[in-house]
Chain A
Amino acid sequence: MSFLNYLISGISLGSIYAIIALGYTMVYGIAKMLNFAHGDVIMVGAYVCFFAAAKYNLPPAIGILAAVLVCTTLGIVIEKLAYKPLRQATSLAVLITAIGVSYFLQNAALLLWSSSPKVFPNFFAQQTVNEAGKKIKITGFQLFGGQLRISYVTLVTIAACLVIMAALLLFINHTKLGKAMRACSEDKGAAQLMGINVDATISLTFAIGSGLAAVAGVLLCSAYPTLVPTTGSMPGIKAFTAAVFGGIGSIPGALLGGLLLGVIEIMAKAYISTQMSDAVVFLVLIVVLLVKPAGLLGKKVREKV
Chain B
Amino acid sequence: MKLNNTKRKNLLTYAVVTVCYAVFQMLSLGGNLSSTLKGMLVPICAYVVMAISLNLTVGVLGELSLGHAGFMSVGAFMGVTAAISLQNVIVSAPLRLAIALIVGAVFAGIVGFLVGIPVLRLNGDYLAIVTLAFGEIIKSVFNNLYLGLDSRGFRLSLLEDRTNLHEDGRLIIAGPMGIGGIEKIASFTAGFVLILICLAVIFHLVNSRHGRAIMAIRDNRIAAESVGLPVTRYKMMAFVTSAAMAGAAGALFALNYSTVVANKFDFNTSILVLVFVVFGGLGNMLGSIIAAATLTILPEALRGFSNYRMLIYAIVLVLVMLASNNEQLRSMLSRIIPKRKEHTHDA
Q: How far is the CA of A142 from the CA of B143 in the complex (A)?
A: 37
Interface: A278 (CB within 8 A): yes
Q: How many residues of A contact B (CB 8 A)?
A: 42
> In A108-141, which residues have CB < 8 Å from any B CB?
108, 110-111
In contact, B64 and A92 (Cβ under 8 angstroms): yes
> In B127-145, which residues have CB < 8 Å from any A CB?
128-130, 132-134, 136-137, 140-141, 143-144
In contact, A244 and B322 (Cβ under 8 angstroms): no
In contact, B136 and A279 (Cβ under 8 angstroms): yes
In contact, B144 and A282 (Cβ under 8 angstroms): no
Q: How far is the CA of A293 from the CA of B222 in the complex (A)?
A: 18
From B136, B141, B282, B321, give the contact of A100 (CB < 8 A).
B321
In contact, B322 and A103 (Cβ under 8 angstroms): no
Among listed B206-214, B305-313, B331-339, interface-contacting one: B305-313
Q: Known contacts A82-B318, A244-B125, A293-B126: does B222 contact A103 (CB below 8 Å)?
A: no
CB proximity of B45 to chain A, nearest CB, Å = 23
CB proximity of B97 to chain A, nearest CB, Å = 31
Q: How far is the CA of A286 from the CA of B271 in the complex (A)?
A: 20
In contact, B318 and A104 (Cβ under 8 angstroms): yes
In contact, B324 and A93 (Cβ under 8 angstroms): yes
Interface: B37 (CB within 8 A): no
Interface: B122 (CB within 8 A): yes
In contact, A97 and B322 (Cβ under 8 angstroms): yes
Q: Which residues of A contact B130 (CB under 8 A)?
A: 285-286, 289
Q: Which residues of B contact A86 (CB under 8 A)?
A: 321-322, 325
Q: Known contacts A82-B318, A92-B58: does B134 contact A276 (CB below 8 Å)?
A: no
Q: How far is the CA of A295 from the CA of B125 in the complex (A)?
A: 12
Interface: A89 (CB within 8 A): yes
Interface: A167 (CB within 8 A): no
In contact, B310 and A107 (Cβ under 8 angstroms): yes
In contact, B125 and A99 (Cβ under 8 angstroms): no
Q: How far is the CA of A294 from the CA of B125 in the complex (A)?
A: 10
Q: How far is the CA of A285 from the CA of B271 in the complex (A)?
A: 20
> In A245-277, which residues have CB < 8 Å from any B CB?
248, 273, 275-276
From A89, A96, A290, give the contact of B118 (CB < 8 A).
A290
Interface: B165 (CB within 8 A): no
Q: Which residue of A lies closest to B176 (CB)?
A: A275
Q: Which residues of B contact A286 (CB under 8 A)?
A: 118, 130, 133-134
Q: How far is the CA of A305 from the CA of B221 in the complex (A)?
A: 10
Q: Which residue of A lies closest to B124 (CB)?
A: A91
CB proximity of A231 to chain B, nearest CB, Å = 15
Interface: B205 (CB within 8 A): no
CB proximity of B49 to chain A, nearest CB, Å = 20
Q: Which residue of B lies closest to A101 (CB)?
A: B318
Q: Known contacts A111-B311, A275-B144: does B278 contact A92 (CB below 8 Å)?
A: yes
Q: How many residues of B contact A (CB 8 A)?
A: 45
In contact, B325 and A93 (Cβ under 8 angstroms): yes
Q: How far is the CA of A294 from the CA of B307 in the complex (A)?
A: 43
CB proximity of B274 to chain A, nearest CB, Å = 7
Q: How far is the CA of A279 from the CA of B143 in the complex (A)?
A: 11
Interface: B314 (CB within 8 A): yes
Q: Which residue of A lies closest to B222 (CB)?
A: A305
Q: Known contacts A82-B318, A99-B275: does B311 contact A107 (CB below 8 Å)?
A: yes
Mask: chain B, 94-127; 1 = CB below 8 Å from A; 0 = not: 0000000000000000000000001001110110
Q: Which residues of A contact B141 (CB under 8 A)?
A: 279
Q: How far is the CA of A285 from the CA of B126 in the complex (A)?
A: 10
In contact, A96 and B278 (Cβ under 8 angstroms): yes
Q: How far is the CA of A244 from the CA of B274 in the complex (A)?
A: 21
From A92, A111, A289, give the contact of B308 (CB < 8 A).
A111
Q: Which residues of B contact A295 (CB under 8 A)?
A: 126
Q: Which residues of A contact B121 (CB under 8 A)?
A: 290, 293
Q: Which residues of B contact A99 (CB under 8 A)?
A: 271, 274-275, 317
Interface: A283 (CB within 8 A): yes
Q: Known contacts A92-B58, A108-B311, A289-B122: does B159 contact A82 (CB below 8 Å)?
A: no
Q: How far is the CA of A289 from the CA of B120 in the complex (A)?
A: 12
Interface: B267 (CB within 8 A): yes
Q: Known contacts A86-B325, A285-B130, A286-B133: does B314 contact A278 (CB below 8 Å)?
A: no
In contact, A285 and B129 (Cβ under 8 angstroms): yes
Q: How far is the CA of A103 from the CA of B122 in the complex (A)?
A: 29
Interface residues of B (CB under 8 A from A): 58, 64, 118, 121-123, 125-126, 128-130, 132-134, 136-137, 140-141, 143-144, 159, 176, 222, 267, 271, 274-275, 278-279, 282, 307-308, 310-311, 313-315, 317-318, 321-322, 324-327
Q: List 5 A-B contacts (CB under 8 A).
A: A93-B278, A244-B125, A275-B176, A289-B129, A293-B123
